[in-house]
Structure 1
Amino acid sequence: MSVAFDERAPLRLVEPGRHRVVDVALFYGERSGGIRTYLNAKVAYAQRTGAFEHRLVVPGTQRDVSGPTCALPSVRVAPNNGYRWPLGIRPLADLLVELEPDFVLLHDPFWAPRAAVTAARSVGARVVMVHHGSLDLDVNAIPGPNRLYRPALGAWMRRAYGHVDAVMAACDPLGDTGREATLPLRFGLDPAFFPSGGTERGDHVLYAGRLSREKGVFELLEAAARSSEPWPLWLMGTGTAENAIAARARKLGVADRVRMVGYESDREALARAYESARCVVMPGELETFGLVAFEAAASGASVVACTSAPSARVVGPLAETFAPGDIEGLAAAIERARAGVPDRLAAARFASAHRWEHAFAAELADLEAL
């Protein structure tokens, strides 16, 4: 349910037509994953089609609201992925009032959610909290015993989600936030993610994503150690656990099979990296969607994903799956994917059916229904 509070102004009626949509995203780093991909695609879609007026608000080095992406002052807090922390609450609240949006989408519950909701409501906007994470994912990303901060983080999320008009999610947010998903969070594909037909498969297994504990990389190393065939493992990305991953690989005796290949931002290069791998593995059981499996399947790659990832259900037979926490099942799924032949025709059909244009047109219709 939506919890009202004293500061709430009457919502103005939104007439059909060209609406003003503002996305607010704290976790928008140079090397962040699905959130940045979604938001960049949305900026491009709005500019290309003119379907709605769009502004993206993110932390930056200084205030700059001259273009479609608005930056507010912040400090860098995570060099590996470029995450920044905003300086104060007032700059965001003032900007939302200045922009006079019809809809505000908050992509996390941590950037002054109460002030943002109050400011948005003061100009008659509807506010949607977009659920990209989960309590398990967030607490596992923080070093130390999570029993100390899990209750506080859970309480914060419930308060933040309690004051918005709707929740948008690809997974079930009820247990973490006390709110059901009102709107589906849809993802799409860049045209680059399409089988080329001319890329030769290598022998390596590819992981692409943040190098951190909560993404399942350590479980992937365990599966590599248990495999009967010593396949090469390529890790594409950066993150805070790089040194710990290297140490675990040495301990498991697979260091000579592991290759760090760095973060790749170019869509065409990433699609060909997917397609040229013997298989692409998304080992995390805490994924709240799992864009890597989605993109890799559309590129014509053999894919392995955990059954708990929403994208595994979307991809369907284009992926081999394993149960959460099942290292032997992960190793077996990798062997099946390595041995199989990708169905490039099915991949092409999948890619064509899941373009960003379809996702954003449906999202706009959902917002208008509010």
Structure 2
Amino acid sequence: MHVCDATMFYSARSGGIRRYLQEKRRWLQARPGYRHSLVLPRLAAGAAECAIEVPSVPLPFSQGYRLPLMRESAVRALAELRPHVIEAGDPYQFAWAALDAGQRLGVPVVGFYHSDVPRLFGRVGGAQVERLAESYLRRLYSRFDLVMAPSACMTERLRELGLEHVVRQPLGVDTRLFRPRPARNRKLWRGRLDAGDEDRLLLFVGRFAHEKNLPVLQAMMDRLGPGYLLVLVGNGTPPAAREDTRVVPYIAEPARLASLIAACDLFVHAGDQETFGIAPLEAMACGLPVVAARAGGLAETVDAQVGRAVPVDVPPADNPEPLAAAMADAVRELFDYGLQPLRSAARKRAESYDWERILPDIVGRYAALAGTPALPQ
């Protein structure tokens, strides 16, 4: 079975979606009878030889994403590959190109809802723009054979738009790579970060983007005071320099990222628009408890067993202080309680999302649509 993915959400410095596609490609390539291809707006580092590039232009303020210059070029690229199933990983030009190619080839087309588009646009343009985005999604995704959403809340949101062929399909984590490390790893990274032996290291990994609500984390640090160090890993424009914060540029090598994660004490995430959240799951796999906003997909993976899910009573974009105060209280509470029981539970939670459990489900969905028997795992 030949599976082809098309998406604009793949660049040299992109995060969770790129990780998903790389893991899927690795899984398929390791098994006879499967083939995987990518159609992208620009070949990114690590895209591999099977990727086809289509003419594109940079998307302003997107930190490396690009848009196809012409829809037809993406359609032709997909049609020439002749896959058995096409998956569109964004709701823009590639989604429409995937539908056109699917119709041309007579093959099923799957959409993966990675981004909460109405909320994203509504945050900037208000309620009317949010409603327009909902109408657009309804028109687009009603044409797909199947739409996968990574969390129950996103699945429900799409069904509220009147879409019926929607299924919850979580993403995953490589628990062999992302795992707890020995004490010497912690000591090594503390030296690199210029952190004291007693400093409590709080970690965030992700894009330095508006929807990640980094001002909440800064306000949280103001409340925590001395003895805590915030480590921010990602790409984009970082927050202003602070004595209690270390900024680490985007880490492309998963093994190096896993090593850094395992050296920290706690993962923190104030984003309220996550459709899933691979980074917190990778942190849990490394044995880190998580303190996160109880919103979107994070509310389904983070709870009192593995950390704290903090209620979002006031939109953080309007006022970061309420969420910051609640997260600071949660951080103190976890350190007072003791992290070790949470570390074990976090690791166990992540193991239930291992890619070796998740990807067979995804490929099984492809096989059912294509009328092709799923091959032995």
Range class of TM-score, shorter chain: 0.7 to 0.9
Q: 1:259 to 1:338 in 2, by over 3 A?
A: same
The alpha carbon displacement at 1:40 in A equals 0.9
Q: Secondary structure at the match of 2:86?
A: strand
Letter in 2 for 1:133: S
Partner of 2:186: 200
Q: Indicate conservation of the 8 Å contact 1:194/1:351, yes or no.
A: no
- The C-alpha deviation readout for 1:307-364, integer Å capped at 9, x for no partner, is 2242453354122220124412212122233443234544444444432122111111
Aligned letter for 1:342?
Q
Letter in 1 for 2:163: R
- When residues 294 and 61 of structure 1 are mapped into structure 2, their CA distance, relative to the original with a 3 A threshold, is closer
Distance 1:156 1:48, change over 3 A: same
- Offset, 1:138: 2.5
Q: Which amino acid aligns with 1:167?
A: V
The residue aligned with 1:354 is 353
TM-score normalised by L of structure 2 = 0.80
Q: 1:318 to 1:61 in 2, by over 3 A?
A: closer
**d(CA) in 1 for partners of 2:4, 2:250:** 28
RMSD between aligned alpha carbons?
Answer: 2.7
Cα gap change, 1:337 to 1:216, in 2 (>3 Å): farther
> Which of 151, 159, 169 is equivalent to 1:185?
169
User: What's the CA shift for 1:301?
Assistant: 1.4
**In 1, Cα distance between the equivalents of 2:113 and 2:309?**
24
Match of 2:149 among 148, 165, 169: 169
Equivalent-residue separation in structure 2 for 1:133 and 1:348 (angstroms):
26
Matches within 5 A, 1:142-161: 145-147=125-127, 149-161=129-141
Say if 2:367 is the partner of 1:368: yes
1:26 alignment partner in structure 2: 8
SS of 1:189's equivalent in the other structure is: coil
Query: How many angstroms apart in 2 are the aligned matches of 1:229 and 1:179?
Result: 50
Show the counterpart of 1:334: 331
| Alignment partner, residue 89 of structure 1 | 71
Q: Distance in 2 between matches of 1:369 and 1:182?
A: 15
Conserved in 2, the CA contact under 8 Å of 1:100 and 1:123? Answer: yes
Residue of structure 2 equivalent to 1:264: 251
Residue 26 of structure 1 and its aligned partner are, at CA, apart by 1.0
In percent, how many aligned pairs have the same letter? 29
Identify the residue that residue 373 of structure 2 maps to in structure 1.
none
**Which residue number in structure 2 is paired with residue 318 of structure 1?**
306
AA partner of residue 341 (structure 1): L
Q: How many residues align?
A: 338
Structure 2 Cα separation of the partners of residues 341 and 170 of structure 1: 28
Question: Is the deviation greater in 93-102 or in 313-322?
Answer: 313-322
Secondary structure of the corresponding residue to residue 235 of structure 2: coil
Cα drift, residue 116 of structure 1: 2.5
Question: 2:55 aligned with 1:73, yes or no?
Answer: yes
Q: CA deviation at 1:28?
A: 0.8
In the alignment, structure 1 segments of 5+ residues that lack a partner are: 1-18, 250-254
Q: Give me the whole-angstrom Cα distance separating, in 1, the residues matched to 2:96 and 2:41.
A: 18
Partner Cα separation in structure 2 for residue 33 and residue 180 of structure 1: 29
- 3-state SS of 1:196 partner: coil
Contact in 1 for aligned 2:6/2:89 (Cα 8 Å):
yes
Matched, 1:117 2:105: no
Name the residue aligned to 1:9.
none
Give TM-score scaled by structure 1 length: 0.82
Structure 1 pair 83–185 and aligned structure 2 pair: CA distance change class (3 A): same
Structure 2 distance, partners of 1:315, 1:294, is 9
Q: Are the structure 2 counterparts of residues 66 and 73 from structure 1 closer, same or farther at C-alpha, using a change threshold of 3 Å?
A: farther
Deviation for aligned residue 1:263: 1.1
1:298 is matched by which residue type in structure 2?
A
Residue in 2 that maps onto 1:6 = none
Gap runs ≥5 in structure 2: 188-198, 315-321, 370-377
Q: Distance in 2 between matches of 1:351 and 1:299?
A: 9
Query: Cα distance, 1:229 vs. partner?
Result: 4.7
Deviation at 1:293, TM superposition (A): 1.1
Q: Is the 8 A contact 1:162 1:179 kept in 2?
A: yes
Instruction: Quote the offset at 1:82 in angstroms.
Output: 1.9
Q: Deviations over 1:128-156 (max 9, x none)?
A: 11000113552267xx5445743433332
Which residue of structure 2 aligns with residue 5 of structure 1? none
- 8 Å contact from structure 1 (residues 194, 298) kept in 2: yes
CA contact (8 A) 1:80 1:238 kept: no
Q: Specify whether residues 285 and 140 from structure 1 end up closer, same or farther in structure 2 by C-alpha distance, changes over 3 A only.
A: same
Does the Cα contact within 8 Å between 2:118 and 2:133 map onto a contact in 1?
Answer: no
Counterpart contact for 2:302–2:309, Cα < 8 Å: no
SS in 2 for 1:49: coil
Shift of residue 175 of structure 1?
A: 3.6
Runs of 4+ aligned structure 1 residues displaced above 6 Å come to none
Alignment partners' CA distance in 1, 2:136 and 2:62: 26
In structure 2, C-alpha distance between the alignment counterparts of 1:271 and 1:306, rounded to whole Å? 23
